[in-house]
Structures are given as structure tokens and as C-alpha cells.
Structure 1
Amino acid sequence: MTAPRTLLINPTVTSRSSARFPLGLLQLAAALDRTGSSRIIDGNVDRDFVNDSLRAMEQERFDAVGVGVMGGPQVATAIAVSKAIRASFPLVPIIWGGYFPTLHTDAALAAPYVDYAIRAQGERTLPELVAAIVDDEPELGHIGGLSWKRAGTVVHNPTRPIMRHDPAGLLPYDKLGDPRRYLARTYLGQRTVATQAAIGCRYHCTFCGVAAMFNGATHLPPAARLERELAYFKHELGADSVQYFDHNFFDREVDMLPLLEVMARFEMPWWCFARSDALLKLSEHAWKLVRRSKLRMAYIGAESPSGQMLHDIRKGTRPDQTLEVVELCRRHGVIPELSFMVAPPENTEEETERTFEFIREMKRVNPQTEIVIYIYTPLPEHSRHEKDRARRPGTPLLDIDGKPVVFPATPDEWAQPQWVDYACHMDAPWLSERLRRRINDFVTVLRCRYPTVQDMRAPPWAKRRLSAMAGWRYRFRKYDRPWELNLANRLVRLRMPQVSGL
């Protein structure tokens, strides 16, 4: 029997300049290549990825096509490539994996252009599925983490436990062509590389897809693996800084110390996701390694100044810890990048205004604090991990008219603008137009008054001018209709980290 061959596609979701390694597909390729072979097409660097996918399938034999799909804007491009493949190669199975089919499995399989959905981790499920597909009489019931169609109904196989799968050597970066084109000029350095050391997060925040994907599991890499990766990035690719995509970089200190020691030897400035409580627990020895390794910025989910809301969303942190960590970061030369979620379904306006005041307090404590503001959009009940659904049923969500929110039932519906905004925490059905404008105006005044240090495009003089223009509005809380700032920003075009990333 010929070894199975799989085409892996990363649909376009960002600009070329913002493209980073498609780490999920690289992990899948490493797993597939143990028993077969694979090819990767990355729509973030290949803008004609739909036609190139079709050409690849005309020129080579593929037993299956795997499409990685995040929620939000990537759904539309995933639909486009899947429909094109189904029209030209109707017999080739199409498999969706990633966050979208994990959170919205039934919606994914409602599409005629999706044959299989892989829930959560795919490094074991995908190779088993592809091997079964090439069998004349495939048996699918034993494949954990797989959802599939049988006689017009959807079958959900049992969930597969999360495990860490490390290839013997490096990930197959050569499948991407020249890996150096994924290095970017950022606040951290001239050639920033993106990677992921640990996977998962031990917490169960109700708004976070990671909780549904990993259900509280987290796995750190061996120090030798991290050292191997960093050596390749620095000495082979010429990278000078690192952006870590770990869902929660600082886990337990005893497990982190070997990794920090490796990073301290390479001294490559870095950025990561972190939690306030984890940073506050670090010993002086750990902070010494953090300083030596050159941590420049930590993205911390502050979320809310309300202890009750933090409890309700199962964040596991407190507002006073946010205040403490802002000061702690200042002392250690680390810029805290705090994310806040405004406009919750209950007490929407009051909680939003309270958050604005808390943000001002953060700026008083540490003016260098970066602020990122999102709309609080909790996961639909069907998207939460099955164990969470059984243990802690969520509160029904109501729209602006007091009617139950009805979530989309197909990928095409999820690709509509209002649901893309919901998935990206940019809008919600319970927001009034007045509050929506109030939030946008506050964000405009705040980002003009305190332009992000991540902005490498706008000239310093322009940022100083905008900051001065916004000064009186920020000081006197005159946020409404900042027409002059909107006009000036059309020329300067300040960077928005919540949209463009690092």
C-alpha cells in the first residue's frame, strides 16, 4: 500500500508582514511524516493559496486535505479553499481542524464541503484518520477526538486526552520554503521569530477557546528541545528576538526554571502571555533569570476591575493582583500589556465605565502599561468543554432586545461580519449603538494619549503630537466624538495591537 499523502492548508488570516510560522500545521506535518508524507500551503504568505492548492492537487496525489481553521476572519478563507477543492476534486476528503471545528463541531460538519472535524489536538487523530481513509473499508469509531458524518447524522467519537508530541528533531520548517520570510521587524528586534514552547493552560476561563481545547491541561517542553529550537532560530535563521505563543508562559516556577536558564543563555529579547498571579509568585532567582533572558513585554489578561466578574468568568485572579503586577513589572523593566474586556452582558454600561477608571489607575501606577480593550463575548454553551458544560452550565445570553442570542449553525453563517466581530471580541448582540460609540471613543483617546511602543511605523514626532492633542480630553474625561483625533489618525495610522498583534 502506498504511504498516505496529505495536503495541509493554512487559509489566509493576516497580511504577509504579520505572517508567523503556522506552528499547528508544522506539528501535524511532523506527525504525518512518520508514516506518510505531507505538504504545507500557507495562505498568509501565499496570497493565491486557493489556486495554488488546486494546482498542487492537479500535480500530486493527495489522499486527504487538512484545513486549519481559527474562528473569526479565517473562516471565510477556509470556506473558499474548501469549496474550490470540493468542486474540482469531489472525492478527496476534506478535514477541518483547529479552534473553529473544536468550538463549533456541529456547525463545521453542517457544511457539505467538510467531511471530518478534528476536535482539540490533532497530532494523533489526523494520522490515524488519514490511514483509515486510504483503507478500502475504513473503521473510524476507534479514532479519539474525531467527529464525522454517517448516514446523514454526525458522530462524535470520545474525546482524546491532551498529550505533548515532540518530534525527534526540529519541526519541518523547510516545508515552508525559506523560513526567514517569517521573521519580522517588531518592537523586540529586527528579526523576530514566533514559536510555542508549552501547550495548554490549566485554567478554565469561560470566554477562552483554550479552555475548551485543552480542558485545563498544560505541557511544558524539555529544556533540550527549547535549546535546540532557539539555537536554530538564532544561528541558522539569524533571529534576534522571540515572540512566544504559549497560552500561559509562566506556569509553575519549578518547571519554568530550566527553560528560563536556557533562554538566559541565548539573551534574545522576548514577549509572552502571562498571568498576574503567576508573575507575583516568582522568586527573586526566577526574576533574575527573567531579566537576564531579556523579557521585554508580558501580555496579561487583567479582564476586569470587578472581583465578582473575575470569579464568574473563572479567571482565578483578583483586581488587586493586577495593580501589584503593574508595579512589579515596572521595577523589573518589563512592560505589562494588559487586556481588558468591557461591556459584559450584565451591568453592561456600569462595568464598562468602571473599567475605564481602572485603566486610568493602571496608567497612574505605571504609565508604560500598554492597554488592549476587547468586548466580553463568552463562548456559546455548545463551545465550552463537555466537562465544563456538565459541571457549570452558563447563563443564557440575551441580545439588546432581551431575546435569546441565537448562534450560527454553519460556517457560512459564522463568516458573516457580525459573527466575525463576536469571535474576535469586537462586538456583541447586547451592545447599544451609544455604548459601542462610547467604547470606540475611549479607545481612540487612550491610544492617542499613550501611543503603543510596539508601533514601529509612525514617526516619533507624530506620536508626540497626537499625545499632546489627546491630553486635554484624557485629563478631563472628554472622550465623546474625538473628531480631531480621528482626523489626525487617518494620517498617522497608529498601530492597534488588538488588531495587528506584536
Structure 2
Amino acid sequence: MTDAARTLLINPTITSRRSARFPLSLLHLAAALERSGNDSRIIDGNVDRDFVNDALRALEEGAFDAVGVSVMGGPQLAPAIAVSSVIRARFPAVPIVWGGYFPTLNPDAALAAPYVDYAVRGQAGETLPELIAALGGRAEAKLAAIGGLSWKQGGAVVHNPNRRFTLADHGRVLPYDKLGDPRRYLARTYLGRRTVAHQASVGCRFRCTFCGVAAMFGGTTVLPAAQQLERDLGYLKHTLGADSVQYFDNNFFDRERDMLPLLEVMARFEMPWWCFARADALLNLSEQAWKLVRKSRLRMAYIGAESPNGQMLKEIRKGTRPDQTMAVVELCRRHGVIPELSFMVAPPENTAEETEHTFEFIRALKRVNPQSEVVIYVYTPLPENSRHEQDRARRPAKPLFGLDGEPVAFPTTPEEWAQPRWVDYTCHADAPWLDDRLRRRIRDFVTVLRCRFPTVQDLRSPPWAKRSLSAMALWRYRYGRYDRPWELELANRLVRLRMPQVSGL
């Protein structure tokens, strides 16, 4: 191993080229490796559709000490398996490291694969450079000292202790040049002609039991210094030419006293923006904060409403109430912000009743603020072993049962998790306790709702087509006649309305 180790960082395909955004996790890893004196190369499968062969060519053309693969669950698993398998077959001596949400939530399943040597749980900015440094002699004593690492030892899987999350300011912007021309990641969206993806803070301090973010970060959140955000936005706006920002922060509005310096920076740039937020956080903002929010040009906030059932919100530790959801849509209307509300239907208990209750609550929200956007998912709780260890100890999950009355058996390998039924589970699109009738009921309601209220995020569908679909869906929505909306499904084949739960901005 040379003094300057080289790591090939791969982002397997998960979306279309049109929807590709900066692979921020790999950019942060490249910066961390650079700070440790090592080099890296990034291959992004979202813009490079031949990324598997390009990864092989990169390994043939130059020596790499390790391959790091960023892996989300769901549709990214299959391409992650594909690229890891061919690299293992062609270059069996090159260590393969998986990081990201999937190995964090399912480290045993990840390491059950013969093509995965190491799994990084949680933040990898310190773990990966330490692992690369230890790979020279594969000294097990060194491996055992690396926080956040899971690895194989004598046929058994070893899970090292977790590592604390950090957000250090190292005085420079991310190495966007490693992506070739970073401007190709700027997209025309509802926010602007050149929208850029950015993540300012890390983590979320809340512990919702269904949430992969909570399982990954364990109630930790770290905000950037104001000067760091100012430097980053300055580069994105003045060097790359971005005119709007989609913030990927898991929970943008945290405590107001910490957010005010960041909002002041954003107010100076006046770049329209979108973010994740909580109803209670927005309701608690002072008028001073709202003045900065308006000046900074917040256009849309994605708010996890989840359920109109207050008891269910308590059980999943959401920390908000249905009345706060109702209040925040009115508050957003007054301040010119569109609330994009996500709901989880079809919970394992009282499945049909809770689903219908949610439909009625959505209609009530629409009466308060017709501009409210609604995203509907199926409630798919995390497997017990995927939840954060502190939450498992404090609040064991209820057992889950399928339609046959048997306990749900979750996958134990990447290949099993990549099966369509489990991809749907991961993407909150289906669950083992749903029957065909309720599955159809949910699909029909979503069809009527999105035709009646086409999303403002849809820039591709002609305005006349959206108006026509809205008029066609009017009588069904008004009278609650959702069953088998064949005419809307037929029209959708021609118009193909954008679905935020699939493509987002």
C-alpha cells in the first residue's frame, strides 16, 4: 500500500439522469480522504449508465486500494449488487466497502454477501479513512479499533462500537470537480432554472421509530457554522450559477436560536428553496424568524404529518399532534409557503379504518389550504434489528404479522432485500398485511387526489392537460367516488403526471 492510497467511490444508479443530484455522501467522503492524504475517484451511476463497466475499466487502468459503494435500500440495491459482484469476480483481492443507509440498518445482511468485506454504519467521514489506513496489513487489532465499522472475522460478523457524528468545517467547499462538470447536476425545477442539491446540517434529534434517519443518527443533529454555509452557497451561486436550492437536511428547522444565523445567510442570497421540516418547529418560529424565512424565499416545506391519529403519533414517537398539522397548513398559507405533507396509510393494526380516517383528514386539510401538496405512503415500520440500538433497548417494537397470521420474516441477504416485494416495502409502497382490496383503494384515492390537485412541481405536463385532468376528477373527489377511476387512469397514460413520492423535485 502506497503512502497515498486510492479509493474508487461508486454511487450505483437509483434515479434517472434528469433527476440526478449531487452524490453528496461521496463528495464528503472524497473530501475526508483528501484530508487524510489519500486520493479518490467518483463514479456516479445516476449520470453514467455504463457505470459498472466504467468501474471495471477504472480498476484495470489504475491501482485502487479499496472500492467504496454507497447503498440505499430499495431500487439502488440491485445495481449495487451488480457492480460489487463483477468487481469481486474480476478483482478478488480488492476490498469492497459498503456504506450508507442499507448497511447501517442491515449490517448483517450486507456482510452476508461474499462481495462485501466491510460495512460502515452511520457517518463514514472518519471511519473510511481509518479503514483505508488499516487495510495494508489487515491487522485485526487496528480493525477492531475503528468506530462504526462492521467486518468479518473467522466467519463471524464483528460490529465495532458506534461512532459519534460530527460536522467539521475544514475551510473549503466539497471537491465538486471530481464529478467532471458539476453544472450538469443543476436542474430546472419548480424552484428555478438551475436548482442545486445541498445539505447543510447532519442528522435529526427526533427518534421516530419508523424512520431510517432516526435509526442511522440516533437522535443526533449537527448544524454548520454560518460562515460555512455562506461559503458553500457563494460557490454554488457565483461559481456554478445555481439560482435555487433543494436542501437535503433531514430536518432543516431545528432550534430557532441555532437556525437564525443560517437564515440570515440565506436571506442575503435570496435563492428560492425547499426543505424538510416539522409542523411543531414551524409553528414555534418567531416573527423575526418568519421574516428571514420570507426574505430567503422558502417556497415549499416537506412536513411529515404521518397520521391524523394522535395515539399512533405517540406510539411512533413522532412528537407532533394532528391539530399542529392542521394549524401549520394555515400558517404556511399566510406566509406564502406550500406545505408538502406526507402521510402513512395502512398501519398493521386497524389497517382499513386508519386508512379511511387519513383520507378524510387529507380532505379537511385541503379545505383549509387547497395549495397543500400531499404525498401518501404505506406505513412500513423498520425491522427490529434495523432500529437504533438505543431505541431497541428503550422501546421494543411490536411484532408484525402478514395476512396469513404468521410473523413477517424479513430478508437476511442483499439479494432478498432486492426482490420486488421488499423493494416496495423499503419504498413504503406495499406491506405484507395489505390485501388486494385495500391496495386498490389506496391506489384509486391517490389517482383521484393527484388528478384533482396536480402538483406545482410538475413542469413537464402542459397546463391545459393538468386543468383538464383536474376538471375530470372534480366529481369523484367532491363525492368521494374513488373506486376504479378508469377514465383518470386512461388520461394519465397520455399526460403522465409527476408523482412527488417517486421523483420529488
Q: Given the two structures, how large is their TM-score scaled by the length of structure 1?
A: 0.99
Structure 1 letter corresponding to 2:22: F
**Shift, 1:436, TM fit:** 0.2
Aligned residue number for residue 69 of structure 2: 67
Q: Distance in 2 between matches of 1:312 and 1:431?
A: 21
Offset of 1:169 from its aligned partner?
0.2
Structure 1 residue 86 corresponds to structure 2 residue 85: no
How far apart are the structure 1 equivalents of 2:179 and 2:332? 37
> For residues 413-452 of structure 1, what are the structure 2 equivalents within 5 Å?
413-452=416-455
The aligned counterpart of 1:312 is 315
Aligned partner of 1:391 in structure 2 is: 394
CA distance in 2, matches of 1:297, 1:274: 10
Cα distance in 2 between the residues matched to 1:102 and 1:406: 19
Residue matched to 1:289: 292
Question: Match of 1:428, as an amino acid?
Answer: A
What does residue 223 of structure 1 align with?
A: 226
Please give the alpha-carbon distance, in whole angstroms, between the structure 2 residues aligned to 1:470 and 1:165. Answer: 51
Give the TM-score normalised by the residue count of structure 2.
Answer: 0.99
Residue 77 (1) aligns with residue 93 (2): no
- TM-fit CA distance, 1:402: 1.1
Q: In the alignment, which residue of structure 2 is the partner of 1:329?
A: 332
Give the 3-state SS of the residue equivalent to 1:298 in structure 2.
Answer: strand
Residues in 2 aligned to 1:296 and 1:19: alpha-carbon distance in whole angstroms: 21
Which residue of 37, 47, 51 corresponds with 2:49? 47
1:340 pairs with 2:343: yes
Deviation of 1:165 (Å): 3.1
Matched letter for residue 294 of structure 1: R
One-letter code aligned to 2:340: E
SS of 1:16's equivalent? Answer: coil
Match of 1:194 in 2: 197
- Partner residue in 2 for 1:467: 470
Number of equivalences: 502
- Alpha-carbon distance in 1 for matches of 2:225, 2:137: 36
Which secondary structure state, in structure 2, belongs to the residue aligned with residue 21 of structure 1? Answer: coil
The answer to whether 1:33 aligns with 2:34 is yes
The equivalent of 2:238 in structure 1 is 235
Confirm whether residue 185 of structure 1 aligns to residue 188 of structure 2.
yes
8 A Cα contact 1:99 1:213, kept in partner: yes
After TM superposition, where is structure 1 displaced by more than 3 Å over at least 4 residues in a row? Answer: 135-138
What is the aligned partner in structure 1 of residue 179 from structure 2? 176
Question: Where does structure 1 lack aligned partners over 5 or more consecutive residues?
Answer: none
CA contact (8 A) 1:30 1:167 kept: no
Cα deviation digits, residues 130-180 of structure 1 (max 9, x gap)? 100023645211001000001100001111111113332000000000000
1:255 pairs with one of 253, 258, 271 = 258
The 2-side partners of 1:42 and 1:467 are apart by 38
Q: Secondary structure of the equivalent of 1:17? A: coil
Computed over aligned residues only, the root mean square deviation of the Cα atoms, in angstroms, reads 0.7
2:143 pairs with 1:140: yes
The equivalent of 1:122 in structure 2 is 124
Letter paired with 2:420: P
Instruction: Report the 3-state secondary structure (helix = DSSP H, G, I; strand = E; otherwise coil) of the residue aligned with 1:167.
Output: coil
Contact 1:12 1:44 survives alignment (8 Å): yes
Partner Cα distance (1:169, 1:423) in 2? 36
The yes-or-no answer on 1:370 pairing with 2:373 is: yes
Counterpart in 1 of 2:162? Answer: 159
For 1:136 and 1:432, locate their aligned partners in 2 and report how far apart those are by CA, in whole Å: 50
The counterpart of 1:501, out of the listed 482, 494, 504, is 504
Structure 2: distance between partners of 1:183 and 1:314 = 36
Partner AA of 1:493 in structure 2: R
User: Is the CA contact 1:31–1:167 (under 8 Å) kept in the aligned structure 2?
Assistant: no
Q: How far 1:105 moved relative to its partner?
A: 0.5
Corresponding letter in the other structure for 2:135:
I
Aligned to 1:299: 302
Partners of 2:168 and 2:306 lie apart in 1 by: 32
| AA partner of residue 20 (structure 1) | R
1:207 CA displacement: 1.2
Q: Is the 8 A contact 1:54 1:85 kept in 2?
A: yes
1:404 aligns with 2:407: yes
Q: Distance in 1 between matches of 2:148 and 2:211?
A: 20
Task: Kindly indicate whether the alpha-carbon contact (under 8 Å) linking 1:147 and 1:155 is maintained by their aligned counterparts in 2.
Answer: yes
**2:360 — aligned with what?**
357
Q: Counterpart of 2:18 in 1: which secondary structure?
A: helix
Q: Distance in 1 between matches of 2:17 and 2:447?
A: 26
1:98 corresponds to which residue? 100
Percent identity, aligned pairs only, is 77
SS of the aligned residue for 1:18 comes to coil
- Cα displacement string for residues 409-467 of structure 1 (whole angstroms, at most 9, x for unaligned residues): 00000000000000000000000100000000000000000000000000010000000
Between the aligned partners of 1:351 and 1:410, the Cα distance in structure 2 is 32
Contact 1:111 1:410 (8 Å CA) reproduced: yes
User: Could you tell me how far apart the structure 1 residues matched to 2:66 and 2:41 are?
Assistant: 11
CA distance in 1, matches of 2:137, 2:107: 25
The C-alpha deviation readout for 1:264-311, integer Å capped at 9, x for no partner, is 000000000000000000000000000000000000000000000100
Give the Cα–Cα distance (whole angstroms) in 2 for the partners of residues 232 and 160 of structure 1: 30
Is 1:272–2:275 an aligned residue pair? yes
